[in-house]
Amino acid sequence: MPPHDETTPVGPSGGPPRRPPAARATGGSGSAGRGRPTATRSGGSGGSRPGGSRPTGARPAGGKPGGGKKARTKKQRRRRRLKVALGTLLGLLVLLGVFVGVVYATTEVPDPSSVQRSQTTVVYYADGTTEMARLGDTNRRDVTLDQVSEAARNAVLAAENRNFYSDPGISFTGIVRAAWNNLTGGSTQGGSTITQQYVKNAILQNSDQTFSRKFQELFLAIKLDNNHSKDEILENYLNTIYFGRGAYGIEAAANTFFGVPAAQLTPQQGAVLAVQIRSPSSYDPESNPEGAQDRWGLVLDAMVEEGWMTQADRDASVYPPVLPKPQSSSLGTPTGPEGLVVSQAISELEARGYTEEQIQAGGLRITTTVDKATQDAALAAVNEVMDGEPRETLRQALVAVDPRTGGVRAYYGGDIGAGEGAVDYAQARRQPGSSMKPYVLATALDQGISVTSRRDGSSPQTFPDRDAPVRNSGGASCPACTLVEAMTRSLNTTFYGLAYEVGPENVRETALAATGMPETWPATGSLLDDKTTLAAPESGVTGSSIGIGEYEMRPIDQAVGFATFASGGVRHDAFFVSRVTDSEGTVLLENGAPAGERVMSEDVANDTTFALEGVAQYSRRALDDGREVASKTGTQGIDADDNSDAWMVGYTPSLSTAVWMGTDGYQPIRNSDGAIIYGSGLPGAIWQEFMDTVLAGTPEEDLPDRPVIRGDTGEGVPAPETQAAPTTQSAPTTQSAPPTEPTPTTPATPTETAPPDDGTTEEEPNDPSVPTVPTPPPSPVTPPPAGGQPTGPPTQPGQPAPTTAQQPQLTG
């Protein structure tokens, strides 16, 4: 190994190893090739180095061979970064250009006929395939552009797109505005051209003001503008736009609003229609005359600015008379009973923010919760039971909901679903009578008063908050009935007194929570509009008469309220729409299974249900095969002799159904034999037949077999020591159902005036009388004989068990 200088680096270096130059000999011995100098040499000359000095040519430690490159300046570094950025941007632009070219080349503009087909909204039953209705395909007639008056065309251009004939088909400012608002959450006003509106409304069918929608509009509008003339685009636009009142296209609109063809529209009439385009439901001259006329004036001003109208004509212009909004126009809604389902679905979507234009002209696919077979069963039950009955005066409603979701499974509000004479009796506000009593019981249970507690049910009774005495139907009396017995026998005095005891306002709160009813009635054009619900209309005060059902409810409210008991105290609000998609299948709305809201304890719901389980059997409306069911009848009286409303409401864990019967006003309700109608009569027959049909073949579901809440925290009465066996009256016959249905007469809108005040309006003459006898001691229920007819009404411990010869008549 060759010697080395001790100052030479011995570790690895950045370049190849270099030998130091050979040391020059100075007379001493040493090999010339070694090059290892002596550290010190006395008397040396010339070639000697001080000890530790670096040999000539040796590089410094850590240095690079050749000295290394010069560092870049800041300017050079900036230039390099700029070149990289420009190159990247150029590459992205090239890719974007390729993408735009491909998208543009593959974008197809549909022909007008396919556009109109896609605008039709279809409503389906719950299976999503069986059609219930087709909207938006009834009031349309296409015309050529020369069949539209020039004045009307100019009015539309003035309102929507003044530069239509000169713009490229798109509004760059509108796209930028939509992008900015999408990022900032600002206003989503459009500012689109007529071409973009045509694309949006007729092709995309998507009114969302988002950047993605504007991006789609961009390609379609540009290609549409390139492939079609401006006149063709305007003609298609005028034939497809929705003007409100069920009118699609300007020809239908001219006839609907003015009774003239589009060719005869004046500038003033054209301006009225032009105003409708922006928002048909908001600017209808009948519903919003002030707003419509304000915008009408702005359109005429724009026409003057564009030279399409002289200032003199503008000054002389007056708002033209508009035809009344056609009440008989069904807008494609079926005229049969299913039309009321469609109307409810439309109202539900409107409440969710869908506009009339979206619903009527958006090409939606609306799937309802109504099951076709269940709906058919409802119609069959009504028609069969009412066959031969005076349907020219009697009105009926049936609502069935799923307690687990709130989805409406069947809905019958009358035979006329749309057009002249259409009235939805399922939404009628009527007095529920004794079908209100379960809410009184639930309130008592919540306060610790059990269903085995006893209260005075003797008749008549007077109460501190009421002048007239309260009487039980038929003079029935029970001084010490349990609340279960009082519910089954529908004792008015018991539940009026119980409502007084637990607090009428508390009962109201229980009922509002269970049904989802609002604090005040919404405005629908009735006498109860804006009045406090479940209270006296004049004072807004809830009295103890809430316990016997003297404050109005709707059939759909009762179906939901009883469904809350069925679901263990969880309320699911009723709904009709389960799913909405566009014409391409994109899901816009999915209801699924709403979670619901707990409004009462499970124990309260359990015991309320337990108390209602004997009513159907007692009223001879037990379901087939002994299926367990909880129910309550109800009847509201006009006076001591006649009734105005009759109800039957009941449920299993999977189905809650309310049936109401009455008239358009508060007239007496009697059957074809002239007999008084009670809740367990015709309404009970409809309810029973419907429930048996729908539940046939389904698994039987258990209801509570014992109460949970014990004790009595209230004002109970002791059990009687001795009791006599009850006597009963014979039961009336149930009406038969002839095979054919009479044609119903056109009903009038039901009036919601208070029933006559003859001193008996707060005494519910419920159903045929219950004997005025003391309650017998608890006894088992007599099993029904062969054939299924019960021989005794009670199914709970502690209820009376009359003999066959003493069978009580049907009660409320």
Average pLDDT over residues 43-64: 47
Residue with more model confidence, 677 or 206: 677
pLDDT, the chain, mean:
81
> Rounded to whole angstroms, how far apart are CA atoms 306 and 238?
20
Q: Which of 149, 171, 343, 434 is catalytic?
A: 434
Same fold yes or no, 139-316 and 430-572+595-806: no
What is the band of 79 on the pLDDT scale with cuts at 50, 70, 90? confident
Higher pLDDT: 379 or 745? It is 379
User: Does the structure show a pLDDT above 90 at 419?
Assistant: no
Of residues 234 and 70, more confidently modeled: 234
pLDDT at residue number 31:
41
Going by the DSSP 8-state scheme, the letter that residue 201 receives in this structure is I
| Active site (annotated) includes residue 160 | yes
* 3-state SS class at 140: strand
Name, in order, each residue with C-beta under 8 angstroms of 448's C-beta and a sequence gap of 6 or more: 709, 711, 712, 713, 714
Integer CA distances (angstroms), 319 to 155, 266, 297, in order: 14, 11, 9
Of the candidate ranges 362-366, 511-515, 634-638, 789-793, the one whose mean pLDDT is the lowest: 789-793
- Which class would CATH give 139-316? mainly alpha
pLDDT of residue 378: 98
Concatenating the DSSP letter of every residue in 434-502 gives: GGGHHHHHHHHHHTTB-TT-EEEE-SSEEETTEEEEE--GGG-BEEEEEHHHHHHHT-HHHHHHHHHHH
Contact of 644 with 662, CB cutoff 8 Å: yes
Q: What's the pLDDT score for residue 205? A: 58
Instruction: Render pLDDT for 429-477 as a digit per residue (tens, 0 to 9).
Output: 999 999 999 999 999 999 999 999 999 999 999 999 999 999 998 889 9
Most confidently predicted of 102-106, 136-140, 247-251, 317-321: 317-321
pLDDT band (50, 70, 90) for residue 224: confident
Closest by CA to 281, choosing from 353, 364, 178, 186, is 353
Give the pLDDT of residue 107. Answer: 61
Tell me the pLDDT tens digit for each residue of 614-654.
999 999 999 999 999 999 999 999 988 899 999 999 999 99
Q: Is the pLDDT of residue 235 over 70?
A: yes
Domain ranges in the chain are 139-316, 430-572+595-806
Query: Which pLDDT belongs to residue 743?
Result: 38
Is residue 460 reached through a cis peptide bond, with omega within 30 degrees of 0 on the bond before it? yes
DSSP assignment of 63-90: --GGG-PPPPPHHHHHHHHHHHHHHHHH
| CA–CA–CA angle 52, 57, 58 (5° rounding) | 50
pLDDT tens-digit series, residues 765-793: 434 333 333 333 333 333 333 333 333 33
137 or 564, higher pLDDT: 564
Q: Per residue, what are the HEC states of 594-608?
A: CCCEECCCHHHHHHH
pLDDT of residue 76: 83
Q: Is 434 a catalytic residue?
A: yes
Output DSSP code: residue 203. I
What percent helix, strand, coil does the chain show, rounded to 5? 35, 10, 50
Q: What is the 3-state secondary structure (H, E, C) of 370-385?
A: CCHHHHHHHHHHHHHH
Distances in Å between the Cα of 141 and the Cα atoms of 151, 253, 328 are 20, 10, 19
Sheet holding 121-124, edge to edge: 131-135, 121-124, 365-368, 577-581, 587-590
Q: Average pLDDT of 68-84? A: 81
Q: Which CATH class is domain 430-572+595-806?
A: alpha beta
Q: How far is it, in rounded angstroms, from Cα 333 to Cα 330?
A: 5
Q: Rounded distance, CA 539 to CA 545, Å?
A: 14
pLDDT in tens, 124-169: 999 999 999 998 756 778 899 999 999 999 999 999 999 999 988 8
Catalytic residue among 160, 338, 356, 501: 160
Least confident of 200-209, 504-513, 660-669, 745-754: 745-754
Of 49-58, 235-244, 314-323, least confident by mean pLDDT is: 49-58
Taking residue 672's Cβ as centre, other Cβ atoms within 10 Å add up to: 14
